[in-house]
Structure 1
Amino acid sequence: MPLTEEWEFMTFILFLVFLATCVAAGSTGALFAPGTWYRDLRKPAWTPPGWVFSVAWTSLYLLMSWAAARVAVVEGSGLALALWALQIALNTLWTPVFFGLHQMRTGLVVISLLWVSAAAAMLAFFQVDTLAGALLIPYVGWVSIALCLNVSILRLNPEQGADPN
């Protein structure tokens, strides 16, 4: 990759575009806040405290945007970017399904697909840019925790797990 000022400016603009995408995805957390329904569910002892989620997501969205901006300037990165787009779409979908609709089983399907697409994006990023792939490792780790949390909450609250439809 050439390291000219113009190239760096373009990468920064791409970073801002990807960050705006992440902010849009993250906004579903404000629109569909966990609320009383989630607070009243039985949760495993290892559930992170509430404040961790905003710190984690802020950090992860910055890393994801940086990774995507690095990959976007590399020729032949179409598949990697398509996988990134898929995972951010699924990321956006999970919160309204789980917290908004209270559909834990459907949420489990969504977050499972999210995990697969995030892991695939990470592997594709490694093929294009090693640092970009490494920047997605924490995200895949966090989605792994969220997936396990979704499974555990569903198991601890089987009466809540039945989708109303």
Structure 2
Amino acid sequence: MKFLKPLFVFLILNFGALGLGILLMGNGPTSDWYTSMNQAPWTPPNWLFGIAWTFIMLCFSFYMTFLYLKHPTNKVIALFIFQFVLNVAWNFIFFNQHLIAFGLLTLIALTFVITAFLVTYFRLLKAYSLLIVPYFIWIYIATTLNLYILINN
């Protein structure tokens, strides 16, 4: 029960962030604005985003549960909140407001936060650190996609 309660909380928060992000992006990925852009050749198909984010947030919820149970500090919570805000904000900034450069800066900041989690708590979590790797890889890819759009449009 000690593990399940924080896991449940992180699942609600992380999937809530996904829902909020979807709400704030409007019709973003299917909008004329986005579909008419010159996009990177490695841009995944739209259907893959939902699958990827579901897997990422499931893994990240387990990661955060292990981390919080081993190291329940204000720093951990602050990093999580910062990650939450950046993750949700990017959808609004990029898809809703069409601020490509600011979206890129948001993703770069999010990449730094995810990297901070990975590097700072690797020794503490050891193999459990693998649970944040999908998030790190996906955010890195998203950053390259955003950069490509900025440069080529």
* TM-score when normalising by structure 2: 0.90
CA separation in 2, counterparts of 1:92 and 1:149?
17
SS across alignment from 2:98: coil
CA separation in 1, counterparts of 2:122 and 2:59?
14
Number of the residue aligned with 1:57: 53
Number of the residue aligned with 2:127: 131
Q: Of 15, 24, 31, which aligns to 2:24?
A: 31
Name which structure has the greater RCO, CA cutoff 8 Å, separation 6+: 2
Runs of 5+ consecutive residues of structure 2 not aligned to the other structure: none
SS across alignment from 2:44: coil
Amino acid in the other structure paired with 2:38: R
CA separation in 2, counterparts of 1:84 and 1:128?
17
Number of residues of Structure 1 aligned to a counterpart in Structure 2: 149
RMSD, matched Cα: 1.5
Note closer, same or farther for the CA distance 1:84–1:132 as it changes in structure 2 (3 Å cut): farther
Number of the residue aligned with 2:2: 10
Q: Of 144, 147, 154, which aligns to 2:140?
A: 144
Amino acid in the other structure paired with 2:22: G
Amino acid in the other structure paired with 1:56: A
Alignment of 1:11-160 (within 5 A): 11-27=3-19, 28-32=21-25, 33-34=27-28, 35-36=30-31, 37-75=33-71, 77-157=73-153
Note closer, same or farther for the CA distance 1:51–1:77 as it changes in structure 2 (3 Å cut): same
Whether contact under 8 Å (2:108, 2:143) holds in the other structure is: yes
CA separation in 1, counterparts of 2:53 and 2:91?
13
Shift of 1:128: 2.3
- Percent identity between matched residues is 29
Which has the greater radius of gyration? 1
Runs of 5+ consecutive residues of structure 1 not aligned to the other structure: 1-8, 158-165
